[in-house]
């Protein structure tokens, strides 16, 4: 029961986070697009038109999946992938771009936090996504695993 509560709380947090940032990106689409287009990572700038639509759309679709029991495991996997990509992007920016030139393409209040705090937040959220996925997909103990195995 504790696992279920933990997974539901994590899913709720990610729904709020993804939906909020997606809506913020859509509301201020021109800023989001220009930040992607002007990215110091040339590859990001080249695919900015696709990313500007795909990122908020993906965040909304994952949010919907996280509230639907049927799609929750897949949505948690997608959450882990998204958070890993966001983490790699932030770490890459912090590693290869001078601090004065770091653009933030996040939505809403996420733009207000420092880059170091952004990195720490993404690390924590990535770990949370991984633990929530593990808690949802792994049996609580060996006895529950034995019940799931079919013997012929």
Q: Torsion over CA of 88, 85, 60 and 69, rounded to 10 degrees?
A: -120
Q: Is residue 150 part of a domain?
A: no
Whether residue 120 lies inside any domain: the answer is yes
Q: Residue 151: inside a domain, yes or no?
A: no
Q: In this structure, is residue 144 part of a structural domain?
A: no
Q: What is the pLDDT of residues 51-83, one digit of tens each?
A: 999 999 999 999 999 999 999 999 999 999 999
pTM above 0.85, yes or no: no
Residue 30 structural domain: 2-139
User: Where on the phi/psi map is residue 64: left (φ > 0), alpha (ψ -120 to 50), or beta?
Assistant: alpha
Tens digits of per-residue pLDDT, 94-139?
A: 887 765 555 666 656 666 777 888 899 999 999 999 999 999 998 7
pLDDT digits 0-9 by tens, 38-54: 777 777 788 889 999 99
Total tally of structural domains belonging to the chain:
1
């Amino acid at each position: 029961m504790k696992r279920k509560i933990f997974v539901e709380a994590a899913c709720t947090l990610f729904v709020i986070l993804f939906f909020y940032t997606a809506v913020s990106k859509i509301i201020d689409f021109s800023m989001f697009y220009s930040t992607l287009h002007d990215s110091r990572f040339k590859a990001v700038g080249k695919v900015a038109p696709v990313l500007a639509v795909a990122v908020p759309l993906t965040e909304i679709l994952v949010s919907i999946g996280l509230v639907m029991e049927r799609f929750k495991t897949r949505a948690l996997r997608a959450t882990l992938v998204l958070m890993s990509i966001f983490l790699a992007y932030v770490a890459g920016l912090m590693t290869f771009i001078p601090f004065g030139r770091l653009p933030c393409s996040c939505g809403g209040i996420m733009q207000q936090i420092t880059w170091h705090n952004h990195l720490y937040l993404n690390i924590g959220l990535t770990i949370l996504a991984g633990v929530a996925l593990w808690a949802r997909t792994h049996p609580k103990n060996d006895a529950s695993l034995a019940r799931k195995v079919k013997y012929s």
